[in-house]
Structure 1
Amino acid sequence: MTQGRTVKDIGAKLWQLCSVLRGDGVTYQDYVTELTYLLFLKMAQETGMEKSIPEECRWAPLAKAVGQSQLDLYRAILLKLSETRRGLLADIFADAQTKLRKPANLKALTEAIDRLDWFSAREEGLGDLYEDLLERNAAEKKSGAGQYFTPRPLIDSIIHLVKPQPGEVIQDPAAGTGGFLVACDHYIKQQTDDLYSLSEADRTFQRQDAFTGLELVHDTHRLCLMNLMLHGIEGRVRMGDTLSSDGEALSRANLIVTNPPFGTKRGGERPNRASFVETRGSSNKQLAFVEHVYRNLAPGGRAAVVVPDNVLFEDNTGRAVRQQFMAMCDLHTILRLPTGIFYAGGVKTNVLFFTRGRSNQGNTHDVWIYDMRTGQAPFGKTRPLTREDFAAFESAFGDDPLGRAPRQDQGEEGRFRCFSRAAIADRQDNLDIAWLRGAEDAGEDTLEDPADIAAAMVEHLRRALTRAEALAEELALPETV
């Protein structure tokens, strides 16, 4: 998604205010949430959509007020809107509270927002402006937002390969701020002249019913809804836990694209989905999400899922998931991602591309693995990830979203290899396969940012803890919390 210069400039101006507010105890995440409240009111005014907002809660009276009166009015507006029961308004302002304490800071925000070039922002896309703010927040390691914000170049590459189509039900069971769903919508609009080539019924479906999902974290769900709204999506992304009965309410999907959270359920809690089989006794969230995806795909449906390395190699529950997964689905491609893509520099991740079979047995025949990691310098602030970094992989993958385009095994010196299902079975169904020479972790030695180095250390500890938890489950020992 290419953003215009004006959107970038406006985003930069809004983001600069965050440094001013830090003295008011406002964190990066608090700031984005605060902006969400204010931008919603301002954008409602700019787009003529204020009819759902009580007159005393609209932008004009708030922007006109000054001093303590303005801060008191703002608090009253948030309280009133948080008590509403009107659809999107209720979701955006649910439990809304301001973290601002100084009237001067609120006035600085409202004046800055009023000074923005709203005509140009509307022309280039209010959704792109909001995504720019989300991306800036994710880039700040101190905000912690990178844990749910998937880099746009990675999202765009995945969507280019899975090719979402009009009329498909598209799901993200760990929606975050909605990046995958927004990218799918953008791709479909590019193919359909902004939906104008579709019938009225099909346009209504795309706006209201095509996109579904769940998000567990309340504040993140708020940001997701705002992001979808500004992109013209009225999809059904609800707040809930996919690993609970909430996930059972999600309908079968033609396409699932997601980057689930890594780690274990809090406090040793385990998934309580009645429909789960392989992961019912495991606290490993990413394995449980993988089971949700392959069970929630409609026959013939396809998926792309970002997972950490342990999903590929973990024994016991992990192996059972992989066996069932490769029986029910055609796991045709694995992309081994380089380090430094996410906010924690040491996290090692992959993208699984697969298709749900028409039957539940014997669907995986060959698994193609593209190694984008070994021998590569890590990404980070000094080497940002770009769409061009995925060009070689996209070429090797081919044009078929089901992974059936002609492919060439590049051999032991190349980055793209094919492994038969039988060969994987001989490896105890371990999919953590590397063949290129060179220390895979050598890139971590080149990390310079102290935050990246600390994150790499945390990731090594997390991997060790994951192995220990798997061993505890195997021995039926009480889990250590």
Structure 2
Amino acid sequence: MASRSAGKGAPTTTRAKLASTIKSARDIMRKDAGLNGDLDRLPQLSWLMFLKAFDERVEQAGSVLNLDFRPAIEGPYRWQDWATDEDLSGEELTSFVNNELLPYLRGLEGKDSDDPRNVISTVFKEIHNRMLSGVLLRDLVNIVNQIHFTSEDDIHTMAFVYESILKEMRDAAGDSGEFYTPRPVNRFMVQQSFLKLGESILDPASGTGGFLTQAYDELREQADTSAKQKQLHDDIRGIEKKSLPYLLCTMNLLLHGIDNPRLIRDNALLRMRNETGPAHKVDVVLTNPPFGGEEEASVVANFPEGYRTQETAWLFVHSILEKLKRGGRCAIVLPNGSLFGGGIGARIKEKLMKECNLHTIVRLPQGVFAPYTQIPANLLFFEKTGPTEETWFYEIPLPAGRRGYTKTKPMQVEEFAACTTWWGGEARNGREETEFAWRVSAETIKASGYNLDLSNPHAGDDLAHRSPEDLVNELIESEQEILSLLEELRAGLAGGQ
């Protein structure tokens, strides 16, 4: 659906008012005994906002623009029917939501892949109302009714606030082993992929949609006609296996103006293995696949002999090689362990370098994903244009005076500025070796058994030029930190006796 502006007198929501409204909503949810922490509260708020946004952006707008428009959600299940009825409260409201509304939404079926009813039923497939109090649920619905999605300004405002909600959601999810890509990282990866209007862009591990929304923002100004906007909406594609990230990603794309997100709820490894025809291939892949996990044997069995491994990250790399069009390109996050791993991992790296030009590996500072994991990560950029001849490495240094990142002091986008300048634009012209950049021939990498975990050859020079006083001070600081951790451990052991 083409963008539209609010008419005269149409309600709008300022960023400050929206932030206050969201805070009020969360205060209400904290009172409900059925919700435990943000992992319950934020999904509850998101599916309610989804229904309000869908009603305003798609249903009401469609009925105005098209006299023959048939709503995807029929009465009395439309937001405008039940959510605005303030007499519907208490047990009557929870009974309606639990026993009528949500089963109806889960059972919707569309006639074709573009039918929004398919999106709705997939979103609500595993969604449940977790609020026990119908009175508090009515209060929450009334709060959501104060949020408006009737103009592009509203959408931009809500998208900004929703990003902050997602960040908190990612922080909470990190405690359960899921690590989402920091915004500066996915912004850099998108920018250095040099996206073009008309290219199909896929994130097969889309999570909450960071790569997809960044890619959309990168291209949306170029989509200056309704036809170009529709094409861009169709070209932004994602696959997500888990229900909660799928809901959050769908909402995120909806808030960015994509009214019918091209998201698939499925195991991406199975989906990509089964979709092998030319029509299913894509121009660009941007992704941070799960790493450190193990796939089920039934999933691994779908891969060719010699490439069967339970390491999820390598299965994604193999699948992406098959998914890319000739001339397509990829930017992917991989941990250090994948870079130096041998065995099947080495075979997949060999396949990668034979089929693609692995032109750049950006080595991130340790702790970019802190505080959830200290595993060092790397950004690999490759193109399906023929075999690799040489690979450039660029090491992003920690900011001066910093020893790592924390939850309150994360990585900033400005830390990529020097690498962006060095990159040399889309053609990668004029690259030179520096204290942070070096290149390695494909023959050297092959001789090493396809080890890509290559240290900066200039790092030793930097160490040699540091003063003894600096080295001693850093050693003392490290020892004090270790001593503090040991004291905390001792106290914890004593407390457990």
Matched, 1:390 2:413: no
Q: Which residue number corresponds to residue 304 of structure 1?
A: 331
Matching residue within 160, 165, 170 for 1:138:
170
Q: Does 1:74 align with 2:97?
A: yes
Give the counterpart letter for 1:388 in structure 2. E
Matched, 1:52 2:90: no
The whole-number CA distance in structure 2 between the counterparts of 1:313 and 1:7 is 50
| 2:372 is the counterpart of 1:348 | no
User: Aligned pair in 2 of structure 1 residues 348, 157: CA closer, same or farther (>3 Å)?
Assistant: same
Query: Following superposition of structure 1 onto structure 2, how do residues 332-343 of structure 1 map, counting pairs within 5 Å?
Result: 332-342=359-369
Using the TM superposition, name which of 123-132 and 176-185 deviates more: 123-132
The structure whose Rg is larger is 2
Aligned to 2:188, the other structure's residue is in SS state: helix
Deviation at 1:202, TM superposition (A): 3.5
Moved more, 301-310 or 115-124: 115-124
> Aligned partners of 1:139, 1:336: CA distance in 2, in Å?
23
User: Does the 8 Å CA contact 2:122/2:265 hold for their aligned counterparts?
Assistant: no
Q: CA-to-partner distance for each residue in 1:371-418, whole Å, 9 max, x for gaps?
A: 225796221223122211211221222211x6x3211101xxx11111
The secondary structure found in structure 2 opposite 1:432 is: coil
Q: In the alignment, residue 133 of structure 1 is paired with which amino acid?
A: I
Equivalent residue, structure 2, for 1:367 = 391
TM-score (norm 1): 0.80
SS in 2 for 1:301: strand
Aligned to 2:251: 226
Relative to structure 1, the CA distance from residue 211 to residue 443 in structure 2 (aligned partners, 3 Å threshold; closer, same or farther) is farther
Query: Residue 202 of structure 2: SS of its match in structure 1?
Result: strand
Between 152-161 and 110-119, the greater mean CA deviation after superposition: 110-119
1:161 to 185, 188, 192: 192
Structure 2 gaps, min length 5:
1-13, 61-70, 110-116, 464-470, 490-497
Q: Residue 239 of structure 2 is aligned with which of 214, 235, 252?
A: 214
Aligned residue in 2 for 1:244: 270
Deviations 1:319-343 (A, max 9, x none): 1111111111111111111233325
1:52-451 pair list within 5 angstroms: 52-60=72-80, 61-63=82-84, 64=86, 65-75=88-98, 76-85=100-109, 86-116=117-147, 122=154, 124-140=156-172, 144=176, 147=178, 149-190=180-221, 192=222, 195-196=223-224, 198=225, 200-208=226-234, 210-233=235-258, 234-249=260-275, 251-266=280-295, 270-274=299-303, 276=304, 278-279=306-307, 281-342=308-369, 344-357=372-385, 359=386, 363-372=387-396, 377-400=403-426, 404-410=428-434, 414-435=435-456, 436-437=459-460
Q: Distance in 1 between matches of 2:18 and 2:353?
A: 43
Distance between the aligned counterparts of 2:41 and 2:83, measured in 1? 18
Q: Residue 72 and residue 287 in structure 1: after superposition, are their counterparts in 2 closer, same or farther (change >3 A)?
A: same
Q: CA deviation at 1:133?
A: 2.0
- CA drift of 1:117 comes to 6.5
Provide the rounded CA distance (Å) in 2 between the counterparts of 1:37 and 1:334: 39
Which range moves more in the overlay, 14-23 or 25-34? 14-23
In structure 2, distance between residues paired with 1:33 and 1:166: 32
Equivalent residue letter for 2:263:
V
The answer on whether the counterparts of 1:330 and 1:364 sit within 8 Å (CA) in structure 2 is yes
1:11/1:129 contact within 8 Å kept: no
User: For 1:34, which of 40, 44, 53 is the aligned residue?
Assistant: 44
**Which secondary structure does the structure 2 equivalent of 1:319 belong to?**
helix
| SS of alignment partner, residue 381 of structure 2 | strand
Cα–Cα, structure 1 residues 381 and 263, in superposed 2: closer, same or farther, change >3 Å? closer
SS in 1 for 2:309: coil
What TM-score do you get using the length of structure 2 for normalisation? 0.77
Structure 1 residues 41, 273: CA separation in 2 closer, same or farther (over 3 Å shift)? same
Residues 186-236 of structure 1 deviation map (CA, whole Å, 9 limit, x = unaligned): 10113x1xx11x5x544332222x123321112322222222233233343
**For 1:260, what is the secondary structure of its paired residue?**
coil
- Are residues 18 and 161 of structure 1, via their aligned partners in 2, closer, same or farther at CA, if it must alter by over 3 Å? farther
Paired residue total: 431
The offset of 1:28, in angstroms, is 1.9
8 Å Cα contact 1:62-1:73 kept in structure 2:
no
Residue by residue, what CA displacement relative to the aligned partner does 1:54-79 show, whole Å, maximum 9, x if unpaired? 22223342341222222222223112
Paired letter, 2:320: V
Task: Give the letter aligned to residue 366 of structure 2.
Answer: T
Task: Indicate the SS of the match to 1:140.
Answer: helix
Letter of the structure 1 residue corresponding to residue 23 of structure 2 = K
CA distance in 1, matches of 2:27, 2:356: 49
Is the CA contact 1:346–1:444 (under 8 Å) kept in the aligned structure 2? no
Q: Deviations over 1:157-213 (max 9, x none)?
A: 1111111111111111112122211111110113x1xx11x5x544332222x1233
RMSD: 3.3
Q: Distance in 1 between matches of 2:270 and 2:58?
A: 39
Amino acid at match of 2:442: R
Provide the secondary structure at the position in 2 that maps to 1:306: strand
Query: Cα offset for 1:15?
Result: 7.1
DSSP 3-state at the match of 2:360? strand
SS of match in other structure, 2:145: helix
The AA in structure 1 aligned to 2:266 is G
